[in-house]
Chains A and B, each alone.
Chain A
Amino acid sequence: MSATIERDGDVWVSSRTGTRWHVVCGLEVHAQLRTRTKLFCGCETSFGDPPNSRTCPVCTGQPGSLPVLNEEALALAVRAALAIGADVAPWSKFDRKNYFYCDIPKNYQISQFDRPYCTGGGIDLPSGRRIRLHRIHLEEDAGKAIHDRGTTTLVDLNRAGTPLIESVTEADVTSPEDAFDYLTALKEILIYVGASNADMEKGELRCDVNVSVHPAGEGWRTKVEVKNLNSFRNVAAALEHEILRQIQAYESGDESRYPVQETRLWDADKLVTRSMRSKEAADDYRYFTEPDLPPVTVSPSFLERQRGMLPELPAARRTRYVRELGLSAYDADVLVADRAVADFFEAAARISGRPKEAANWISNEVLRALGDAQTGASTIDDLPVKPHDLAELIELVAKGTIHTAAGRTVIREMLESGTAAAEVVERLGLEQVEDESQLEDWCRAALEGKDAIVADVKDGKEKALGALIGPVMQASGGKANPQKVREILKRLILES
Chain B
Amino acid sequence: MTVRFGGQVDAVALRNALDAGTGTVKDVVEECLARIAERDGELHAFTRVEAECARARAAELDAKRASGAALGALFGVPVALKANLCWKGGIADCSSKLLANYAPPYDATVVRRLLDADAVIVGTTNMDEFAMGSSTENSAHGPTSNPWDTERTPGGSSGGSAVAVAGGMVPIALGSDTGGSVRQPAALCGVHGLKPTYGRVSRYGLIAFGSSLDAVSPFARTIRDVARVLEVISGACDRDSTCLPLPPFEAPQPADPSRLAGFRVGVPKQCFPAELDAGVRACVESALQQLERIGCELVPIELPHAELAIPTYYVVATAEASSNLARYDGVGFGVRAGSELGLQEMFAATREAGFGEEVKRRILLGTYVLSAGYQDEWYGRAQHARTKILGDYLQAFEEVDLVAGPTSPCTAFRLGEKTADPIAMYQTDLLTVPASLAGLPAISVPCGTSAGLPVGLQLVAPAQEDGRLLRAAQAFELATDHHRALPPMLLGAQA
B343 within 8 A of A: yes
Which A106-164 residues sit within 8 Å CB-CB of chain B? 106-108, 153, 155, 157
- Cβ of B203 and Cβ of A66 under 8 Å apart? yes
Q: Across the interface, which residues of B come within 8 angstroms of A106, CB to CB?
A: 326-327
From the candidates B105, B319, B329, B371, name the one contacting A62 in the complex (CB within 8 A). B105
Which residues of the partner chain A approach B343 to less than 8 Å between Cβ atoms?
A: 101-102, 153
A-chain residues with CB within 8 Å of residue B333 when the two chains form the complex: 62-63
Within 8 A of A (CB), among B263-318: none
Instruction: Render A47-59 as a binary contact track against B, CB cut-off 8 A, 1 for contact.
Output: 0000000001100
Say yes or no: B241 contacts A67, CB within 8 Å.
yes
Complex interface: chain A residues within 8 A of B92 (CB): 63-64
**Is A102's CB under 8 angstroms from B331's CB?**
yes
Number of residues on chain B facing chain A (CB within 8 A): 43
Partner of A64, one of B206, B241, B331: B206
Q: SS class of chain B's interface: helix, strand, loop or mixed?
A: loop
Cβ of A337 within 8 Å of any chain B Cβ, yes or no, is no
Sample (19) of A-B pairs whose CB atoms are under 8 Å apart: A60-B332, A63-B208, A63-B333, A64-B108, A64-B204, A64-B205, A65-B204, A66-B242, A67-B241, A68-B238, A69-B241, A96-B323, A98-B326, A101-B343, A105-B327, A107-B329, A108-B323, A288-B370, A291-B211
Return the CB mask of A272-309 against B: 1 if under 8 Å, else 0.
00000000000010101001111000000000000000
Q: Which residues of A contact B23 (CB under 8 A)?
A: none
Question: What size tier do the contact residues of chain A reach?
Answer: 20 to 34
Q: Report the minimal beta-carbon distance from B76 to chain A, rounded to whole angstroms.
A: 27
Does B240 count as interface, using CB distance less than 8 angstroms?
Answer: yes
B353 to chain A, nearest CB (A): 16
CB contacts (< 8 Å) of B367 on chain A: these are 286
Chain B residues whose CB sits within 8 angstroms of the CB of A66 once the complex forms = 203-204, 239-242
Taking the closest CB of chain A, its distance from the CB of B69, in whole angstroms, is 30
For the complex, give the distance between the alpha carbons of A122 and B371 in Å: 34
Inside 8 A of A286's CB, which chain B residues have their CB? 322-323, 367, 370-372, 375
Query: Do A294 and B323 touch across chains, with their CB atoms under 8 A apart?
Result: no
Give a binary string over A69-108; 1 marks a CB under 8 Å from any B CB, 0 the rest: 1000000000000000000000000001010111001111
Which residues in B have their C-beta under 8 angstroms from that of A62? Answer: 86, 104-106, 332-333
7 closest A-B pairs by CB: A107-B326, A286-B370, A291-B211, A291-B212, A63-B207, A64-B207, A64-B205
Which A residues between 441 and 474 are near B, CB-CB below 8 angstroms? none
* Distance from B211 Cβ to chain A, minimum over Cβ atoms (Å): 4
Chain A residues within an 8 Å CB radius of B108: 64
User: Is B249 in contact with chain A by the CB < 8 A criterion?
Assistant: no
A57-B327 Cα distance, complex, nearest whole Å: 13
Chain A, residue nearest B86 (CB):
A64
* Cα–Cα, bound, A294→B92 (Å): 27
CA distance A60 to B327 in the complex (A): 10
B302 to chain A, nearest CB (A): 29
A100 — nearest CB in chain B belongs to which residue?
B347
B205: which A residues are within 8 A, CB to CB?
A: 64-65
For residue A61, CB closer than 8 A to chain B, the reply is: yes
A69 to B379, CA, bound (A): 25
The answer to the question of B102 belonging to the interface, with a C-beta cut-off of 8 Å to chain A, is yes
* From A61, A69, A157, A292, contact of B211 by CB (8 A): A292
Is the C-beta of B119 less than 8 angstroms from some C-beta in chain A? no
Is B344 located at the chain interface by the 8 A CB criterion?
yes
Q: Are A288 and B323 in contact (CB under 8 A)?
A: yes
A67 to B203, CA, bound (A): 11
* B320 interface hit (Cβ, 8 Å): yes
Which residues of chain A are near B375, meaning CB under 8 Å? 286, 288
Known: A62-B105, A105-B332, A108-B326. A284 touches B99 (CB 8 A): no
**B80-94 interface code vs A (CB 8 A; 1 in, 0 out):** 000011100000101
A268 to B326, CA, bound (A): 35
Residues on A with C-beta less than 8 A from B239 are 66, 68
Q: Nearest chain B CB to A159's CB is how many angstroms away?
A: 15
- How far does the alpha carbon of A102 sit from the alpha carbon of B238 in the complex, in Å? 29
Could you say which residues of chain A place their CB within 8 Å of the CB of B347? 100
Closest CB of chain A to B457's CB: distance in Å? 30
A60 to B104, CA, bound (A): 12
The B49-104 residues at the A interface (CB cut-off 8 A) are 84-86, 92, 94, 99, 102, 104
Q: Which residues of A contact B319 (CB under 8 A)?
A: 288
CB contact between B332 and one of A61, A68, A101 (< 8 Å): that residue: A61
CA of A291 to CA of B211, assembled, Å: 6
Expressed in whole angstroms, the Cα–Cα distance for A68 and B206 within the complex equals 16
Interchain CB contact under 8 A, A294 and B206: no
Does the CB pair A284–B242 fall under 8 Å? no
How many angstroms from the CA of A292 to the CA of B333 in the assembled complex? Answer: 21
